[in-house]
Each structure stands twice: as C-alpha cells, then as structure tokens.
Amino acid sequence: MPLTTRRQLHTLCNIAIGVLLVVHWAWNCACTEERNRQFVDAAFAGDTTRVRELLDQGVRPDDRPFHSMTAVQGAAYNRHRDTVQLLLDRGADAKSALPKAAENGDAVMLAILLARSGPLTAAENASLLGQAADCGDLVCVKLMLRRGADVNAPGGHSDMDGLAASWTPIQHAAASGSWEVFHALIEHGADCSVRSSDGGKLLHLAASSGGSGAAAICRYLVRHGMYVNSQDGNGQTALIDAVYVRGPDADAAAKALPKVEALLNSGADPGISDYSNRTALDYADEGGLSQIADRLKSALDKTKRAGRLSRPSGAQP
C-alpha cells in the first residue's frame, strides 16, 4: 500500500476515534444530566426514598442539572425536612440552602441548616436577616437577631431591579407590610431614617406594600416624626404609592383603603402631584379603584373648603 494511502487511512482512523470519544463523552454527559435531574426532582418533591436510592447509586449530594438549584436547596425551599436531613447526613452543603429557608419563612428549617452550616460571616447573617424580614416572618427574624445579625446592615432578597439588595432589614419589613417584624426591628435599634436608592423613605415602602400591617407602619412613622407628604425621586408621596396599582390585583382596593385612611387621617395632602403631574386621585382612577377615588375626592373637597393649598410638586419641608 502506498505511503500516502497509509497516512490517509491513519488520519481517518484518528478522526473516527475522536468522533467516537466525543459521542461517548456526550452520551455520558446526557446520562449524568438526566440522573442529576431525577435526583433534584426527587428532592424537590420530598421523595426521600428515591433520593436515598440515587445517593446509593453514586450521585453526589450536591450534584445538580445545569441551571438548577441543588437537591438540598430545593428540599429546603419546599419544607421537606426528612429529605434535607438525609442530604445533610450525606454531606450536602447546608450553607447554600440557608437563603431558601429564610426567604420562605421556615424557622425550623432555618435552625436545622444553621446548626450544620458552621460560622457565618457578618454579611451572611445580615443577608439572612434581610430575607427573613422581606418575607415577614417574625420567628426567623428573631432567630437571626439572637445570632447577632446587624439590624442596620444591608442585605437580603433582591427585586427584579436589584434595588432591594441594598436595603436594610427595616426597609424589607416596611416593604413586606409586617407590623410585627417592623416593631421587633425597631426594638433592636433599627434606623428609620434610611432611604431607598430612588429617594423613597420607609413611609413610601410601607404605603406601597400589600401587607396587612402596612397601615400600622404608616401611622407609626408619621407619629414618630416622618413627614407624611414627603416625595421620592419621582415626586410621589406615600398617598400616591398607596393607590398606585402596579399590576393585576383583584384585592387592590381592599389593600389600599386602610393605608389611604391612615395617611389621610395623618394629614396627607391628596392634591399633591408627582413629576408626571398626576395626583393620588389620578392613580386611583387609572387603577379602577372607585371606592378609593371617592374617598380622595371627599378629602380634596374638605381641603378646599378649609382653604388649604396643596404643596407644589417637589417642595419639601
């Protein structure tokens, strides 16, 4: 056989071997990905028996499919304590699942994971406290406070714009509308003077909240010296925030009314417009909140009869 032909055959054989190796590697990856998917799915579902079977077959406790939570994170988030205990006993990373327990408000799960996580940094403690405040869970908040989490350190769950990542726990509590959590943080020395990156005060966050304690938080803040007609970076007052419907919500009117009453009774001026020249009444009309709109019209009429003038947009005391 000519030398050139032998060299060509040798090259073709090498190419074929390379292709087979790539195919074999891809097949192994696909099988591993499928096995990891089954493993994480079983943990998410709390199927402890299946999780144990897969661990016994060689799946590592922190293996996961591409772009997925780990098994212990999913089990912790879905409150499957037996599954979490099994995974921890097999060496799963407890610390990685702490945020899932905190943001879900599961104090028992959080305690289990904390006991197996070792020392946390100040930033990690602050983040867990912020997440617990964000979901409005008082037990989780008290647990993190007992562990020495800084009540005024930023951290916690981020919103879609990333703004909430820089919030302190009291801001998370105001935004969640949890009076119990808010009051507990106040008792531990939380600073009520903090502002959001858009210039909003705690009063704006509470007024924007749909939580059941939002009106109580609004009353507390005004009673303790916060100016009820202060405007944020968009010129919006707390009263505007209280009636601004940010998405489909069948209970929007029921959630807004206690806040509107609390703010009006605290001296909120319904005639102030934001930088788009819209008042709280305009937002109520746009959101279809007819009962709220009627209440604001009544307040505006009362203001006019009393001869009070609305503060111009952008003016602050």
CATH of the domain at 21: 1.25.40.20
pLDDT in tens, 99-156: 999 989 999 999 999 999 989 999 999 999 999 999 999 999 999 999 999 999 998 7
For the chain, how many structural domains are there in total?
Answer: 1
16 compared with 100, residue with greater pLDDT: 100
Show the tokens assigned to 163: 């703004």
Token pair belonging to 238 = 């707390």
Residue 225 lies inside a defined structural domain of this protein: no
The pLDDT tens digits of the residues spanning 194-229 come to: 998 878 899 999 999 999 999 999 999 999 999 999
Distance of CA 300 to the CA centre of its chain: 36
| 146-162 pLDDT tens trace | 999 999 999 876 543 44
**Residue 210 resides in a domain:** no
Structure tokens at 214: 């939002």
Is 170 a member of any domain?
no
Q: What SS3 class is residue 229?
A: coil
Does 209 reside within a domain?
no
The reply to whether 5 falls in a domain is yes
Distance, in Å, from the CA atom of 296 to the CA atom of 286, rounded to the nearest integer, reads: 14
Annotate 148-176 with DSSP letters as a single string.
Answer: T--TT---S---TTSGGGG--HHHHHHHH
Determine the 3-state secondary structure of 282 from DSSP. Answer: helix
The answer to whether residue 282 sits within a structural domain is no
Residue 284 and residue 293 in contact, taking contact as beta carbons nearer than 8 Å = yes
SS3 content of the chain, % helix, strand, coil (to 5): 60, 0, 40
* Residue 76: domain span: 1-118
Mean pLDDT of the chain: 86
Quick one: how far is CA 87 from the chain centroid?
Answer: 26
- Cα–Cα dist 193/276, whole Å: 26
- Cα–Cα distance, 146 to 269 (Å, whole number): 41
Neighbours of 70 (CB within 10 A): 22
Residue 263's alpha-carbon distances to 207, 215, 226, in angstroms, are 9, 8, 12
Kindly state the average pLDDT of the residues 175-179.
Answer: 96
Q: Give the amino acid at 206.
A: A
**pLDDT grade for 274, boundaries at 50, 70 and 90:** very high
Q: How confident is the model at residue 20 (pLDDT cuts 50, 70, 90)?
A: low
pTM: 0.81
Instruction: Tell me the C-alpha distance between 82 and 71, whole Å.
Output: 13
- For residue 311, being part of any structural domain is answered with no
In a domain, 72, yes or no: yes
